[in-house]
Amino acid sequence: MISSPRRKPRLPARRLPLTDTLLLLVVPVVLTGLYMAGVPWVVTALDGFWEGVDHLGRYTELLWAVTALSWVGVAWLFLRLHRLTQWNQRVLSALKAATDETEVVRALGRSVLAALVHTRGIPRKDRARASTMLAALTPPDPDDTAGAQEQR
């Protein structure tokens, strides 16, 4: 097999943005170095921060409530992500059916896609894309005798 002399476009590398990298790695290292060097304002700020963390230990009920709420938030996010993933899979299978060779399967695919367009909790852009695909896949109505000029 002969390979093409043209270069294939490379996919962009997935990497953290520079600001996230700075916040996650550089700032704690710099603050630790300044603390160890004995810079007065850094020592005062970090000691005050850790004293505040130590005082939070006295409020265990509050910490348990915050922990429980964070677990509820994480569970809600995972359920939302699962629902969106399921919706995407259903739209893909409906699109596949709507482009099938047999007319019966195409009609079923279009009807499922029409139902999925009206699903609650889906982002507007995704819903708009699905409705655009449905409009492109729906054949024109043969009973519609008005032309494009008459409809305006």
> 45: domain range?
17-53
Q: Within this chain, do residues 129 and 93 fall inside the same structural domain, yes or no? A: yes
Coil, helix or strand at residue 141: coil
pLDDT tens figures, 35-47: 999 999 999 999 9
The pLDDT score that the predictor gives to residue 70 is 96
Q: Is the pLDDT of residue 91 over 60?
A: yes
- Tokens representing 41? 């304002």
Look up the pTM and report it: 0.54
Coil, helix or strand at residue 21: helix
Q: Within this chain, do residues 44 and 88 fall inside the same structural domain, yes or no? A: no
Q: In which band, very low, low, confident or very high, does the pLDDT at 48 lie, cut at 50, 70 and 90?
A: very high
What percentage of the chain carries pLDDT values higher than 90? 41
Q: Within this chain, do residues 81 and 131 fall inside the same structural domain, yes or no? A: yes
